[in-house]
Structure 1
């Protein structure tokens, strides 16, 4: 099912100008389109709509050590709660961390890379409130974290 993730501001890249009242169309694990909500509603009238507060943009690369937690699964979940979709290999070298990341779909990278929302790209998104709290993380089109 195609989903439109919408927010008052959508940033195709974190250093790009925001699209006001924007949306990201996600079909399966891929981005189908990025643009103004009104245009994407016309293009995809049967889409399910998820509305997020604040700013929606590409999920982040978590560049430091994974947060402390009792288990590898919980450490990876802490990354998701911060809007991360990828971690650096040098910080995911403890037993179980790579396996836990792989089970949920968090990428393990040798080095950091720029992140962006691009048509045809993997649908890794994160929504942040004005005070910087992550309210949603989407990995490969699946909502994996939502803050109430």
Structure 2
């Protein structure tokens, strides 16, 4: 299913220039298009459109130990609630790795820049004005939404 995630501001990299009133089209687990919201919506008539407040950008890397929680699955979910879609291998044991993989969270050997690019994996984070994560999309799936 094709979903368009639109926001007042989209960043293809967190330290990059913002695109105003922009959108990201996602098909399956891949980014199909990034650009002005009007153009993206026009290019994909009939797509589900989600409009987010705040800033939409690439999913983050959680570069420390995963938050404490009763189970590995809940520890991984706690990371998703922070807007992270990747963790460093040095911070996960076999149980956490399995839970991360089941949830679509990347386990990386080293840090790498997070970017939104056409054809790339659809990992998105929406941050509110105070920096809190409002929503996380991991491999094209909405896995967290703040209520």
Q: Residues 36-59 of structure 1: CA distance to partner in whole angstroms, max 9, x if unpaired? A: 101111111211100111000000
The structural deviation recorded for 1:146 is 0.6
Q: Residues 76-134 of structure 1: CA distance to partner in whole angstroms, max 9, x if unpaired? A: 000000000000000012x4100110110001011000010000000000100010110
2:16: which partner in 1?
Answer: 16
1:51: which partner in 2?
Answer: 51
Query: 1:126-145 residue pairs with structure 2 within 5 A?
Result: 126-145=125-144
Query: 1:1-148 residue pairs with structure 2 within 5 A?
Result: 1-93=1-93, 95-148=94-147
Query: SS state of the match for residue 38, structure 1?
Result: helix
**Distance (whole Å) between structure 1 residues aligned to residue 143 and residue 106 of structure 2:** 14
**Distance (whole Å) between structure 1 residues aligned to residue 144 and residue 107 of structure 2:** 18
**Distance (whole Å) between structure 2 residues aligned to residue 104 and residue 120 of structure 1:** 21
Structure 1 segments, 4+ long, off by >2 Å, are: none
**Distance (whole Å) between structure 2 residues aligned to residue 41 and residue 85 of structure 1:** 26
**Distance (whole Å) between structure 2 residues aligned to residue 45 and residue 79 of structure 1:** 34
**Distance (whole Å) between structure 2 residues aligned to residue 67 and residue 18 of structure 1:** 30
Over aligned residue pairs, what C-alpha RMSD do you find? 0.7
Stretches of structure 2 that go unaligned for 5 or more consecutive residues are none
Report the TM-score when normalising by structure 1. Answer: 0.97
Stretches of structure 1 that go unaligned for 5 or more consecutive residues are none
